[in-house]
Structure 1
Amino acid sequence: MSEWERLRDAMRATERPDTMLDLTLVMREGRRLRTRRRVAGAGAATLAAGVAAVVVVGVVAGPGDPPAPERPPPVAVGSPSAGVSMVPEAMKPTPPPTKLRDVPAPKPLGQLIDSGVRHGSDRRVYYMIGLSVPGEPGVTIGLAAGRQDPDGLLTTDLLVNDVEGSDRSAGFHEIGYDESLSNEPVPTFGYFVGPAVRIIGTVDGRQVDARLARWSLDKQVVIFWFEPATLTPGERLDGIIARDAEGRRL
């Protein structure tokens, strides 16, 4: 008689009401069968596991039996192929800063423009700097907002520049908004290319005039900024227009 037949007969014995289940025999035959099935291969191992499950379900601890020891919970081990990051937190790259506050300033192109705004002994200034954008040969300048201390040390707070096209095309270019809520907020600023003598912003239905200055290296580039008393730094404009000396809209 094969091991499987002996195990089957031992379990079928429970179908007769006058017969007690011989657990020792069932467990022994099941263990022997599982051993042979594991040697036989993966398909047979699956069958052995199914038989083992039947045997375990059939075992009920009696009142005097000690409780079965609890198994510790399984520990999941991840791998890169399973989508688990193996890079320590300290080695993960941090996102780049979005502002240049308190960064030493690059060399300005042309003259500094004094805004008339003071932060203690520092004065708020605007100036052009040279830069390059990969694949965009028409972008060579950016407009920076910074502070200059009494010793002449220049610090950059905010930089705006085009990211495509030409930085000398007619009209408005990028506008800088300071949303950092720092103790030295940058007044809203930008530049316009063309014969503008007046630049007007609109916010909450009211019009606010910007102060203007021309770039010393190109008089067609008009740098503008809004006084903090008329436009809170960081507050977004609803619209902005430029007018020439005859009052015509550009």
Structure 2
Amino acid sequence: MTDLDTFRAALQQPDEGRPPALDEIMTAGRRLRRRRLALVAGAATVLVAATMALWPLTSRSEPVGGAWPAAAVDARGSWGQPVATGLRSKDREIVVTAFRNNNPAYPDIKFGVRACAADVAGELAPCHNQFDDVAPDRSPGFHAIGLPSNLDYYDLPMYGYYVGPAAKITVESRGRLVTAKTAVWSEDENIVLFWFTFDDVYQKVDKNSPLYKEGKVTPGQLPDVSDWTAYDADGKELPVGKPFVIG
């Protein structure tokens, strides 16, 4: 018999000319309350355990760079999924991605990176392309670091790629330490695309300069960068390679 049945039986006993068995009723009621509290506590424990089991999945930080846009998985001129930088220039999003280098002058270099001003239809244009002709394209370290540029009046950031498990990339720029934004390339988790915000590595362009009107970098815009450093997820410093800034 359950505690609830006991409690009901105590209430339904015939009085036979005597007062109700209050002690029995109170005892059965207390037993029922304890049982219900135990059930509630057990349910709460299960809920907490379930929440803790889900927490590692829902609390992972999102990558800084995201695929752009979701519908443009076959963006023309892109090797792999373009990555949104979070930067805009005029009416376009700035993305970084990779391209297949088919330059016959460099037959051993197949990998290059590019920054593009991309429209909502997925077309990547204009683009700034670069590849590393100083070290093998898949050797550990920094590669193909490009200066900020202005193409067809669209501003493109300083960017490049790193070969290795880089979770953080920093550089000295005008006397202060700045951290790059990063995203793992969609086709190879050992290649990390990186870029800097416009304010981090160079001054705003001088749009009144004749150089700007010619689509060139303006005075005061070039970054003064040094001390390239990459770290893995545990904070261990990674190989630098041969970081070469391409103009």
- Equivalent residue runs for 1:24-63 within 5 Å: none
| 1:111 correspondence with 2:84 | no
The SS at the match of 2:228 is strand
Amino acid at match of 1:244: D
- Matched with 1:239 is 227
Inter-CA distance 236–159: structure 2 relative to 1 (3 Å threshold): farther
- Matched with 2:163 is 193
Structure 2 distance, partners of 1:182, 1:209, is 28
- Matched with 1:160 is 130
Structure 1 distance, partners of 2:134, 2:173, is 28
Residue 181 of structure 1: CA displacement? 8.5
Contact 2:80 2:185 in 1 (8 A): yes
Residue 149 of structure 1: CA displacement? 1.1
| 1:174 correspondence with 2:174 | no
CA RMSD of aligned residues (A): 2.1
Residue 132 of structure 1: CA displacement? 2.9
Inter-CA distance 182–236: structure 2 relative to 1 (3 Å threshold): farther
**Which is further off, 200-209 or 177-186?**
177-186
Structure 1 distance, partners of 2:160, 2:224, is 13
Aligned match for 2:116, one of 135, 139, 146? 146
Structure 1 distance, partners of 2:95, 2:177, is 24
Which structure 1 segments of 5+ residues have no match?
1-104
TM-score by length of 2: 0.54
Structure 2 distance, partners of 1:181, 1:146, is 9
Contact 1:133 1:163 in 2 (8 A): no
* Higher-Rg member (1/2): 1
**Which is further off, 105-114 or 207-216?**
105-114
Contact 2:149 2:157 in 1 (8 A): no
The SS at the match of 1:219 is coil
Q: Deviations over 1:167-187 (max 9, x none)?
A: 111100120103449742211
- Matched with 1:121 is 91
- Equivalent residue runs for 1:204-219 within 5 Å: 204-219=174-189
Structure 1 distance, partners of 2:171, 2:122, is 32
Task: Name which structure has the greater RCO, CA cutoff 8 Å, separation 6+.
Answer: 2
Structure 1 distance, partners of 2:175, 2:141, is 23
TM-score by length of 1: 0.54
Contact 1:129 1:143 in 2 (8 A): yes
Amino acid at match of 2:117: R
Residue 118 of structure 1: CA displacement? 1.2
- Equivalent residue runs for 1:80-91 within 5 Å: none
Residue 166 of structure 1: CA displacement? 1.9
Contact 1:121 1:150 in 2 (8 A): no
